[in-house]
Amino acid sequence: MIILGSKSPRRKQLLIESGFEFIVKEFEVDETFPEHLKKQEVPLFLSRKKAEAYDESLNDVVLICADTIVCVDDQILNKPTDFKDAFQMLKLLSGRMHEVYTGITLRRDDEYKSFYEKTEVFFKDLTNDEIEQYIKHFSPYDKAGSYGIQEWIGYIGVEKIVGCYYNVMGMPVSRLYSELLDFHPKITKSVIFT
């Protein structure tokens, strides 16, 4: 059995569409991190922090916790706080490449395994009107970097990506599947397409 320790509807959707049988457990975790961490270390730190915060017995159950960040140069873009913040983030992403890192931690009792995936995303130049329309008609406030690649802004704004598309949505499913098999080889017989 698998537990997805995440509030993200996109992670839930991706696991469902990938054939996993799992349950979702939501719990609060302080998402602050040490400032000295390198950008790829931040989602690893936070996914591990989330996994360690889960305080119920796991027995032979595998817990999956994840965290996704968006980076421009060395600046980390978190979830926007308001319209102005979202607009500024998307303006910063406009016409350039940024990196998306997702860190994942697998936990079974006191055994942990963490890894990350990186994807480069190239945005075209976005007009102020395009940015405003996206923020008004979609919900960027629960998304790192203020956008969802699977939404309108992704269709009209993303010119290309290098790496895993699903990583940008918050869960690099192919990598997760491989890591799960390595972490708990019997898991596919009991949780995929049951």
Q: Where are the domains of the chain?
A: 2-191
pLDDT at 73: 87
Q: What pLDDT sits at residue 188?
A: 60
pLDDT at 1: 84
Residue 68: pLDDT band with limits 50, 70, 90: very high
Closest CA relative to residue 78, chosen from 147, 137, 9: 147
67 given a catalytic annotation:
yes
Instruction: Give the residue from 116, 115, 21, 109 showing the smallest Cα distance to 63.
Output: 109
What pLDDT score was predicted for residue 186?
73
The pLDDT of residue 192: 55
Q: Is the pLDDT of residue 127 over 80?
A: yes
Say if pTM beats, i.e. exceeds, 0.95: no
Q: CA–CA distance from 176 to each of 35, 158, 166 (Å)?
A: 27, 24, 11
Catalytic residue of the set 67, 109, 110, 142: 67
Cβ–Cβ under 8 Å, residues 63 and 107: yes
With bands split at pLDDT 50, 70 and 90, how would you rate the model's confidence at 57?
A: confident
* Residue among 102, 98, 138, 156 nearest 147 (CA): 138
Q: Give the model confidence (pLDDT) of 148-191 as tens digits.
A: 999 999 999 999 999 999 999 999 999 999 999 899 877 665 55
Best CA proximity match to 170, nearest among 74, 70, 26, 71? 70
**Inter-residue contact 19 to 173 (CB < 8 Å):** no
Q: 179 in helix, strand or coil?
A: helix
CA dihedral 94, 98, 102, 103 (to 10 degrees): -140
DSSP annotation of 24: E
Contact partners, residue 68, CB within 8 Å, separation at least 6: 43, 100, 101, 102, 103, 144, 167, 170
Q: What are phi and psi of 109, to 5 degrees?
A: 55, -120
Enter the CATH code of domain 2-191: 3.90.950.10
